[in-house]
Amino acid sequence: MRSTIIVKIGTSSLTQPETGELALSTITSLAETLCQLRRESYNVILVSSGAVGFGCACLQLTERPKSISFKQAIASVGQVRLMRVYDDVFTTLQQPIAQVLLTRSDFIQRSRCLNVYNTLQELLSLGVVPVVNENDTVAVDELKFGDNDMLSALVASLVKAETLFLLTDVDSLYSADPRYVANAKPIPLISSMEELNALQIETGNSSSKWGTGGMMTKITAARIATTVGIRTVITEGCNPWNIVKILQGEAIGTHFAPHPEPKSARNHWIIYGLVPGCKLYLDCGAVTAITKNGKSLLAEGINTVEGVFDANDSVQLCNKYGTEIARGLVNYSSQELKKICGCCSDDITSILGYEGTETVIHRDNLILI
């Protein structure tokens, strides 16, 4: 069976730093590299940013737009151009491609997530290279990825990729931002997340002129991917042939080793398919029952319900200080939970007027953080 490689390329690598015009030689070289990987029997998914950057170049805008609606409009202009360029280059190389635009919601609802999985699998078995981007034009603010690093990690987890490559405008992760810290040191290998924490890497808030998120979002993506056993590599986008060399064992860029005991895809989804902002605040008894005694969460242990969610959504569980202790799949919607929180399980039927389940989150659907 073919292994799957995910390659994410950022705006900073697809555009000229000063003008924002497209970096055609990088795009061509990237396409040649991905075709080579296909010949070497890999499945390949490209996660490409650039819609906003290309849209700005099309409309001769010299600054990245700030307001959401403006950015969404610009992205719809740029996405067409981006795909036209990819289609021209890949078609010349006789490699069919597909456009797949995703939103955060596609990963939150398990049924949609499975649809995305099935479509990607069909495309890969047809020998197509899917080109994935966030569907910027429809994504609402509170449900946005905002950056494609996170999107690429979730796609990699979904298809159980072998390696995730994050291509950017620096050749590796450094101890601090090399654009501002002259003696910043490159980091070739991160063996575990504990090691990463100990290194105390400085990322600041800085990204390149056209990029979003900077190194922080790439580290988060690496955390997500390595948790499910996917090796992650940060390397420079202007030299895509390095991907082939890295797969042949050369030590180029920063390698994040996969976790030796990866989480199952379902547990991973409970953690990362979460609806942002939906929280249950628990009393001390419930916190102890869950964290120390491995129990399910009952309605009587919930003090407060925050956010709007449906039954089967993934929510955060917090102690009374607001610290997250676990995540899990709820058996009730937020509307129902607001009526039954703090109540004894025996009273649920009379309060709701229909029979509900005894547990709010069953222990099998609960992951401690």
Q: Decide if residue 72 touches ligand VHF (CB under 6 A).
A: no
As a whole number of angstroms, the distance between CA 89 and CA 32 comes to 9
As a whole number of angstroms, the distance between CA 209 and CA 179 comes to 12
List phi, psi (to 5°) of 196: -60, -45
Q: Decide if residue 288 touches ligand ADP (CB under 6 A).
A: no
CB neighbour class for 300 (10 Å; exposed up to 12, middle 13-18, buried from 19): middle
Residue appearing with tokens 């280059």 = 89
As a whole number of angstroms, the distance between CA 112 and CA 262 comes to 23
Q: Return the range that interacts with ligand ADP (CB under 6 A); candidates 115-123, 195-203, 241-249, 305-313.
A: 195-203
Q: Decide if residue 51 touches ligand VHF (CB under 6 A).
A: yes
Q: Decide if residue 133 touches ligand VHF (CB under 6 A).
A: yes
Helix (H) or strand (E) holding 153: helix 148-158
The only residue of 36, 109, 208, 303 in contact with ligand ADP, by rule CB under 6 A? 208
Tokens of 175: 């101890």
As a whole number of angstroms, the distance between CA 174 and CA 28 comes to 28
The nearest distance, CB 90 to ligand VHF, in angstroms, is: 18
Within residues 159-218, the interface with ligand VHF by CB under 6 A covers 211-213
- DSSP structure class, residue 322: S
Q: Does 119 count as an annotated binding residue?
A: no
Q: Does 8 count as an annotated binding residue?
A: yes
Q: Does 291 count as an annotated binding residue?
A: no
The only residue of 12, 157, 235, 239 in contact with ligand VHF, by rule CB under 6 A? 12
340 binds, options ligand VHF, ligand ADP, none, Cβ within 5 to 8 A by partner type: none
Residues forming the site for ligand ADP (CB under 6 A) = 10-13, 168-170, 173-174, 176-179, 201-204, 206-208, 211-215
Residues forming the site for ligand VHF (CB under 6 A) = 10-12, 49-53, 75, 133-134, 136, 147-148, 211-213
